[in-house]
């Protein structure tokens, strides 16, 4: 079998290249090892590519990377428009932030159709297609329209919201009906899968039985595949990274002070405002903690052209400056706030340096930062993870300190608890989390999905064969 993996964002994974978003970091090792072709956006747009898709192809480990220039006329409507101003807010239960026009939807469909045409170049008789994320909900249907009859799977990295929120997305019916062209649809958590199944039965009036739904396209299996990380690689990387110049500089700057760390894309789903407020409240309630702990918050900008993101960037910059102005001293900055990305190696070293990892999204499909923070710890002296119960990762990492990211006082108390947790308790919690990470690695995620996809395809074919 040859495998073609498709996602909007892709990465070459160069040692010093900053990695934005969990998806690219997660797919990189499996493409490198499995020999798959990974197709995605080059980040550039072009006029006149609609008819002649242009892709630059290069080797990536045992696999290959195909970077596609997307059509200039449709890119904005597709990426900033429908994908990130309609689908993203809805999937994260922020129907209030949905802003979309009919033109955006048409551009989204155009780019999905364009990608389908571009994929034909990589199709062989034994090819399996695996499509990633909400940018390409309709790609499976477009491939089928072009006559592709090979297995096509889809995995959603974000949450799938309850049905009333999804119904706030213009053309939701058309899109979900198009999704049923996939043989297998994978979700991060049972809740997401259940929400999708409720949508199918209540909104589309379809019957879902034992995780299988029948539609005009044939059968589609829906199931849960929680994504993991390459635990061994990350652990090794973190231990080695302590000698990296950026990591050494961070360590030296601490002067015996403890460090809490947050690493996120600058996104309203990540709960950054509440997190900063929780630190503010902690320093107000426990003035003795001033100078003994600071927060390193890395907030990597993405989707900056969208109003909600621009507003958030301004709000955060002001909030951080207010908190630093209030609690800071001539020789102490409470919050080190950085709007740039770092390579995986450097991040691994930062995680190992920090005594507390704060991962407090309001909603998150999985959140691989939580998993990476755990994997990066020194087994002899592990740090503590403070984790939102609304991140998919909380299902597995249930010995983290779980918090409600809307309850700022409780988060402030929990961060203080994390800072003073005795070594024995830290070790017990960390060991339990590591055992779960090892059981559900990225390799296991990859092979279980691909195997389930082959099976779903053959079961589907058997069911729809005339007897």
Site residues, ligand F6P (CB under 6 A): 9, 20-24, 133, 157-158, 265, 302-303
Q: How far is the CB of 163 from ligand F6P (least distance, A)?
A: 21
Instruction: Show Cβ contacts of residue 197 under 8 Å, excluding neighbours closer than 6 positions.
Output: 208, 213, 222
- Closest residue to ligand F6P using C-beta atoms: 21
The runs of H, that is alpha helices, within 328-441 are 344-353, 368-375, 408-419, 423-439
Q: How far is the CB of 124 from ligand F6P (least distance, A)?
A: 26
Q: Is 236 helix (H, G, I), strand (E, B) or coil?
A: helix
Q: Cα separations (Å) of 341 from 145, 307, 316, 357, 428?
A: 39, 21, 17, 17, 32
For tokens 């990130």, what's the residue? Answer: 84
Single out the catalytic residue among 133, 183, 267, 364. Answer: 364
Q: How far is the CB of 84 from ligand F6P (least distance, A)?
A: 6
Which of 134, 283 has the CB closer to ligand F6P?
134
Q: How far is the CB of 20 from ligand F6P (least distance, A)?
A: 5
- Looking only at the bridges linking them, the beta strands covering 212-215 and 218-224 are antiparallel
Give the DSSP letter string of 151-205: -EEEE--S----HHHHTTSTTHHHHHHHHTTSSEEEESSHHHHHHHHHIIIIIS-
157 among known catalytic residues: yes
Contact in structure between 109 and 87 (CB atoms under 8 Å)? no
The dihedrals phi and psi of 57, each to the nearest 5 degrees, come to -115, 135
Contact in structure between 295 and 289 (CB atoms under 8 Å)? no
Read off the tokens for 361. Answer: 């999204």
Read off the tokens for 153. Answer: 């799977």
Q: How far is the CB of 21 from ligand F6P (least distance, A)?
A: 3
Which of 43, 379 has the CB closer to ligand F6P?
43
Which of 21, 271 has the CB closer to ligand F6P?
21
Which of 94, 157 has the CB closer to ligand F6P?
157
d(CA 148, CA 349): 45
Q: How far is the CB of 38 from ligand F6P (least distance, A)?
A: 13
Which of 28, 376 has the CB closer to ligand F6P?
28
Which of 311, 464 has the CB closer to ligand F6P?
311
Q: How far is the CB of 282 from ligand F6P (least distance, A)?
A: 29
Q: How far is the CB of 42 from ligand F6P (least distance, A)?
A: 13
Q: Cα separations (Å) of 302 from 132, 154, 317?
A: 19, 24, 15
Q: Is 41 helix (H, G, I), strand (E, B) or coil?
A: strand
Which of 12, 318 has the CB closer to ligand F6P?
12
Nearest to 22 by CA among 311, 272, 393, 317: 393
For tokens 């997660």, what's the residue? Answer: 26
d(CA 289, CA 73): 53
Which of 133, 192 has the CB closer to ligand F6P?
133
Q: Is 268 helix (H, G, I), strand (E, B) or coil?
A: helix
Single out the catalytic residue among 92, 135, 157, 217. Answer: 157
Q: How many residues are present in the chain?
A: 467
Nearest to 316 by CA among 361, 363, 272: 272
Active-site residue set: 157, 364
């Amino acid at each position: 079998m040859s495998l073609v993996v498709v996602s909007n964002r892709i990465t070459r994974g160069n040692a010093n290249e900053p990695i934005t978003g969990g998806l690219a970091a997660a797919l990189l090792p499996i493409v490198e090892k499995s020999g798959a072709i990974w197709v995605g956006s080059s980040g550039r747009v072009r006029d006149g590519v609609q008819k002649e898709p242009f892709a630059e192809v290069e080797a990536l480990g045992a696999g290959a990377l195909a970077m596609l220039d997307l059509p200039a006329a449709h890119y904005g409507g597709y990426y900033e428009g429908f994908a990130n101003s309609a689908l993203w807010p809805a999937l994260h239960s922020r129907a209030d932030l949905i802003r979309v026009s009919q033109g955006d939807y048409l551009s989204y469909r155009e780019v999905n159709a364009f990608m389908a045409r571009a994929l034909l170049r990589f199709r062989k008789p034994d090819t399996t297609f695996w499509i990633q994320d909400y940018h390409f909900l309709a790609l499976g249907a477009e491939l089928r329209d072009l006559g592709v009859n090979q297995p096509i799977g889809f995995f959603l990295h974000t949450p799938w919201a309850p049905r009333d929120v999804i119904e706030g997305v213009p053309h939701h019916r058309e899109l979900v009906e198009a999704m049923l062209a996939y043989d297998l649809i994978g979700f991060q958590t049972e809740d997401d899968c259940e929400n999708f199944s409720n949508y199918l039965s209540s909104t589309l009036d379809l019957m879902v039985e034992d995780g299988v739904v029948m539609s005009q396209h044939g059968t589609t299996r829906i199931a849960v595949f929680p994504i993991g990380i390459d635990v061994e690689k990350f652990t090794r990387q973190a231990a080695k990274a302590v000698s990296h110049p950026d990591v050494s500089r961070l360590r030296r700057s601490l002067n015996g002070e403890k460090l809490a760390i947050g690493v996120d894309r600058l996104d309203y789903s990540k709960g950054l405002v509440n997190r900063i407020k929780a630190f503010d409240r902690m320093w107000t309630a426990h003035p003795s903690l001033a100078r003994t702990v600071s927060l390193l918050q890395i907030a990597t900008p993405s989707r900056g052209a969208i109003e909600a993101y621009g507003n958030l960037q301004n709000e955060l910059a002001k909030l951080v400056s207010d908190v630093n102005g209030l609690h800071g001293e001539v020789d102490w900055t409470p919050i080190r706030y950085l709007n740039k990305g770092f390579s995986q190696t450097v991040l691994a070293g930062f995680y190992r340096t920090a005594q507390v990892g704060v991962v407090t999204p309001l909603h998150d499909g999985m959140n691989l930062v939580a998993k990476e923070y755990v994997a990066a710890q020194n087994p002899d002296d592990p740090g503590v993870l403070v984790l939102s119960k609304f991140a998919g990762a909380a299902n597995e990492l249930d010995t983290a300190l779980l918090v409600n990211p809307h309850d700022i006082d409780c988060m402030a108390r929990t961060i203080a608890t994390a800072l003073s947790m005795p070594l024995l308790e830290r070790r017990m919690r960390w060991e339990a989390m590591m055992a779960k990470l090892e059981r559900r690695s990225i390799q296991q995620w990859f092979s279980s999905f691909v195997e389930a996809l082959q099976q779903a395809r053959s079961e589907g074919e058997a069911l729809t064969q005339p007897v």
